[in-house]
Amino acid sequence: MNIISCQPINLTNYGYAAHRHAYAIHVKITNVAAEAAHIISILSNTSWIHTLDVIDADAYLERATPTIQELVNNILNQVGTAISNELGEYLVSSSAKEVLCTSLHHSDIPLAELWKEKLTGNPGFDFHTESPAEILVFGEAKYSSLINPHPAALEQITRFIALNKDVRFTKICFGKLCAKSS
């Protein structure tokens, strides 16, 4: 993965308060197979689970194990000449999270797919980080080889916020994953 640019956006130009922060980040994935292998290594590292108390660790490991197997066997190891929408979304999620952590010094939170209530699919935001200002950041990944996926991502983000999925996650996360995975 190559970070082409990571630049702050002046939100006052768009009528928003100066204290809000937004960045335009441009990433280019040049080797899909290598990036998929990198994601597999990240997913396979479940050491964060063992930092939880025994009851939480058992519960998270029980959810994470079949999801890791599904992702590795049926999505990430199926890299070919074309990128499926599902693989594309994992590439976007992983890349976005990695850039936030490396370029903007966010704390990593394990990929949401590993501890959400569904084996795969999308009951909530795709990835999360914690900013240096201790703000929980929610990310939604979309990929399409045919159309611009931004409108679909914005619609889904708006719907998730209206359904309080950000609040639901915060109640699950803090004291468990966020405090333990940094």
* pLDDT (tens place) for every residue of the chain, 182 residues total: 888 888 888 888 878 777 777 788 888 888 888 888 888 888 777 777 777 777 777 877 777 788 788 777 777 777 766 677 788 888 888 888 899 999 999 988 877 666 655 555 555 677 888 888 888 888 888 888 888 887 887 788 788 778 877 666 554 554 444 444 44
Q: Tokens for 76?
A: 């990430």
- 79 to 5, 17, 71, 89, 114: CA distances (angstroms): 26, 43, 12, 13, 20
Check: pTM over 0.75? Answer yes or no: no
> Where is 4: in which H helix or E strand?
strand 2-9
- 181 to 7, 110, 130, 161, 173: CA distances (angstroms): 27, 7, 10, 24, 10
- Strand-by-strand arrangement of the 107-108 sheet: 107-108, 127-130, 136-139
